[in-house]
Structure 1
Amino acid sequence: MGRTVSDLASSDRRAFLTATAAAETTAADAPVPGGTPPAPPAPGGAPARPADGTEAARHADRELRELLEEVDPGRIEDTVRRLAAFGTRHTLSSQTDPEHGIGAARDWVHARMKECARASGGRMSVRLQSWIQEPDSLVPTPTRITNVLTTLRGTSAPNRVYVVSGHYDSRACGAAAADGDGPRVDDDASGVAVVMELARVLAVRRTAATVVLAAVAGEAHGLYGASHLAGELKAAGMDVQGVFAVDAVGGGAAGEAGAAEAGGAAGDGARARRAVRLYAQGAPTGGKDDSPSCRLARSVRDAAGDTAEVDVRVVHGDDRDRWAGDHVPFLERGWPAVRFAEPGGNARRPCDVDHTARVARVTAAALWTLAQAPGAPAGVQVRTDELGASAELRWRRGTESGLAGYEVVWRGAAEPEWTHVVEAGDTVQHTVGLSGDDVFFGVRAVGRNGLRSPVALPARPR
């Protein structure tokens, strides 16, 4: 069993990116790292080759391994214990007490994130995003809510954005009850610890796309913090291609109880301690596993396979019954968004920091791979000939400097995963000698570093 911490322990694109650049940051540049997920088999059974030969892929793999090795369970434990020591982080608790309440937690997270940013040489910035929330059923008086946003600006695709969030607010016996302590080490000091550890390991690195690491507030009162962040990104016209809400991921210490809650058999405690649920909204019509969020989840699972540390159990749905996480406001704006959560979902459970570190590595692997790969292709269409014996796919070429070309993938109509891939090269069309009635097609971009974007599905002409 891992180390545990218990609850019982004490306006436009430029404007958005410019606003994130107001922090004190000072360190030397670092080489551009990367990582590569496994590719599906090519027709005939041969694996697909990286677009720029094997050496680029080896370098990307090495850089990813180095990043994952830097994730430190001890630092995650320190973060969880410190957040619990504020007693409560309830949205309606004190914002001025220096030792107790949500204001003290906010200031501590902000200070620690600024320390991380100082190692970035100006690439990472930290800011407080504050607003006054007007009264509603759970907020009796106008209340200031503040997100702590840490942004690593992308080097070649700054308008393409990936978000990782954890909520630093907590609750006691009720959302409207601000009195009484509610440390909530698992829900969600564990998620905030993941976000803060990612900030530390990414600060000395560069990413092609922009990464926003968000410690949000107001989650227990209506997802206010996530909604405000999503609204700002939408107003700024940012191209959000992936959102990861990390919420209650310290449940590995649940052991047999966690296995039972997750539907496992007796004796499955060890496996449960290495499991995490990944909620991915299915498509509203048609194949439920082909939504943008499900395609994002596939990328996470591929990255998790590289780490060999966590059993990522993809659940096709927004969230658990009667629950809604901080990924939902991003889904509502049409962006791919998923939520990590422990099996069983018991928010009062102790936090297994070793398991939390494993989830941090999986999140880091997926985030790093996506942020270093090209963005998903846009404008994908498929047209079949009159006889239906072949299909022509077309797409718009991306403008990112690291783009090497594209791959066309397909699978049988009854297959859950992509089974075939063919290199299309640096072009905007490719014809496959297969009927679109028999298979599903997709297109993905490939970088010079061998990294691949999530698959984009074609829009069929009416």
Structure 2
Amino acid sequence: MRPMLIALAVSLALPAHAAEAPPPAGKPELYAIGLAPSPARIEADIRKLVSFGTRHTLSSQTDPKRGVGAATRWIHAEFERISRDCGGCLEVQYVTGTVQGEPRIPGPVEVVSVIAIQRGHADPNRYVIMSGDIDSRVTDVMDAESDSPGANDNASGVAGTLEAARVLSKYKFPGSIVYAALSGEEQGLFGGKFLAEKAKAEGWRIEGVLNNDMIGNSAGINGVVDNTTARVFAEGTRATETADEARLRRFTGGEVDSPTRNLARYIDRMATHVPNLDVMMVYRLDRFARGGHHRPFNDLGYPAVRVMETNEHYDRQHQDLRTENGRVYGDTIDGVDFDYAAKLTALNAVSLAGMAWAPPPPADVRIEGAVTANTTLRWSKPSAAQAPDLAGYKVYWRLTTEPQWTHSRWAGNVDNLTLENVVIDNYFFGVAAVAKDGTESPVVFPGAAGSFGNY
């Protein structure tokens, strides 16, 4: 048979999708976003937040210059200014709730957060969220009067969120991005609780929450100075897992493949777009026996992680401003590394952009292949209106002891793929959706253990 006829015969023998060329390996704009956050703008925002004296949740909400109310109004105005610069692309609003009878909020107090929504043009009810905490505190968690600059904890997270809004508001995305400045964290995670409850009530399809709590300290109390790594804390199985789901997971796996864990893996991969930055994935809800504003989202079953510095300095957290025996305490601005805060802001920005540009994560991912040589994965595809730029799907797998996905195969614009002679017993598997520009969703592990929700 002549070469041309051989090629024709081979092409006819292959499934139609196998002949499709995969999309580009990456999107160049992500590298530009990885360089875009400005240390100078982040420094200016942190200095402004510090200037309010204290941002304690129980501090004044009416004083024009001091207290949490003045800080919250400034954040709202700053989001509005960013929105004007992008032609009104942000919907800026307050999210409020009243708290009383709690150990750290005894009397009725209105907890006020600020969010800015950059609405997606194709799939507006799919959200990725970046958050930082407005409030600050000193040693006594009930002290709402003393100066509490909270420069790193957590003016850095709010400044990073504002800067991410400035950077990403220059682009348009199929999915929606929410930039959130949440209050009441130190008094009981109330700002996150109210926003998570709002999302649940309004039916938001949350693909991921990136909570930034302390992203500006590169010099740890352990003596380590490191501006090249970031930690991403990610819980294992969902808090909302049912007894039946847990029973199935015992036989099929998924303990390290919750949507939150695969969100962390996604952020780790996106770090390649930020120069000289690597991610340390920590398989824990938060630091040992501690908490943050991502937890209220985890409590409702949403994928949510904590992004933060690798080396903390505890003398600069929750401390009265003082010097004792030559040791300086307090969360002041001289302890913030603005270049480092810009790097971690960039990590958030490229991760948000990658998810918002990509199609929604595949839904209803299933797997089969017990007692056979082959493994087959199946999934459901979204409507063309919901994912107009969908190019197809990529199947991933890895050894069960590997932290990151190591193998992949392009499937094409189909709803299933069989991996021949790849034995189901030896690996973990997942599926990601891929856009025509090469952006990908997080990988979805099969079954309820790995589902990102009803897409």
Q: Distance in 1 between matches of 2:345 and 2:199?
A: 24
AA partner of residue 274 (structure 1): T
What value does the CA root-mean-square deviation take over the aligned residues? 2.2
Q: 1:353 aligns with which of 330, 338, 341?
A: 338
Q: Which amino acid aligns with 1:300?
A: I
Aligned AA for 1:275?
T
For residues 212 and 19 of structure 2, the distance between their equivalents in structure 1, rounded to whole angstroms, comes to: 33
Give the 5 Å matches for 1:368-387.
368-384=353-369, 387=371
**What's 1:244 paired with?**
210
- The partner residue of 1:395 within 379, 382, 395 is 379
Query: C-alpha separation between the residues in 2 aligned to 1:181 and 1:416?
Result: 43
Contact 1:247–1:339 (CA under 8 A) maintained in structure 2: yes
The answer to whether 1:180 aligns with 2:146 is yes
**Unmatched tracts of structure 1, length 5 or more:** 1-47, 262-267
Q: Larger deviation: 114-123 or 207-216? A: 114-123
Q: Decide which of 285, 288, 292 is 1:321's aligned counterpart.
A: 288
Runs of 4+ in 1 over 4 A off after TM superposition: 48-53, 284-288
Q: CA deviation at 1:49?
A: 12
Corresponding residue for residue 77 of structure 1? 43
Structure 2 equivalent of residue 28 of structure 1: none
Count of aligned pairs between the two proteins: 397
Percent of aligned pairs sharing the same letter: 38
Alignment of 1:153-192 (within 5 A): 153-192=119-158
Residue of structure 1 in register with 2:174 after alignment? 208
For residue 19 of structure 1, what is the aligned residue in structure 2? Answer: none
| Corresponding residue for residue 321 of structure 2 | none
1:337: which partner in 2?
Answer: 304
| Structure-1 separation of matches of 2:366 and 2:22 | 26
Do the aligned partners of residues 177 and 373 (structure 1) sit closer, same or farther apart at CA in structure 2, a change above 3 Å counting? same
Task: Please say which structure displays the higher CA radius of gyration.
Answer: 2
Instruction: Please tell me whether the aligned partners of residues 392 and 435 of structure 2 are also in contact (alpha carbons under 8 angstroms).
Output: yes
Does residue 310 (structure 1) correspond to residue 277 (structure 2)? The answer is yes
TM-score, scaled to structure 2: 0.83
* Partners of 2:54 and 2:136 within 8 A in 1: yes
User: Counterpart in 1 of 2:159?
Assistant: 193
* CA deviation after TM superposition for structure 1 residue 440, in Å: 1.8
Counting only pairs closer than 5 Å after superposition, residues 415-454 of structure 1 correspond to structure 2 as 415-433=402-420, 434-454=422-442
Report the Cα distance in structure 1 between the residues aligned to 2:393 and 2:234, rounded to whole angstroms: 25
SS in 1 for 2:62: coil
Deviations 1:6-25 (A, max 9, x none): xxxxxxxxxxxxxxxxxxxx
Q: Write the deviation string for residues 319-359 of structure 1: whole angstroms up to 9, x where unpaired.
A: 11231000000111111111012234332451111110111
CA distance in 2, matches of 1:124, 1:307: 25
Matches within 5 A, 1:56-205: 60-61=27-28, 63-205=29-171
Q: Residues 398-428 of structure 1, C-alpha deviation per residue, up to 9 Å, x if partnerless?
A: 2211111111121233333322211211111
Checking the alignment, whether the CA contact within 8 Å between 2:134 and 2:154 is kept in structure 1 is yes
Matches of 2:272 and 2:148 in 1, distance apart? 36
SS of 1:325's equivalent in the other structure is coil
Q: Is the 8 A contact 1:50 1:450 kept in 2?
A: no
For 1:33, the equivalent position in structure 2 comes to none
The runs of 5 or more residues in structure 2 that have no matched partner are: 1-17, 239-249, 318-329, 450-455
Contact 1:50 1:451 (C-alpha < 8 Å) held by counterparts: no
Does the 8 Å contact 1:382/1:460 carry over to 2?
no
Structure 1 residue 274 corresponds to structure 2 residue 256 = no
**Equivalent position of 2:351 in the other structure:** 366
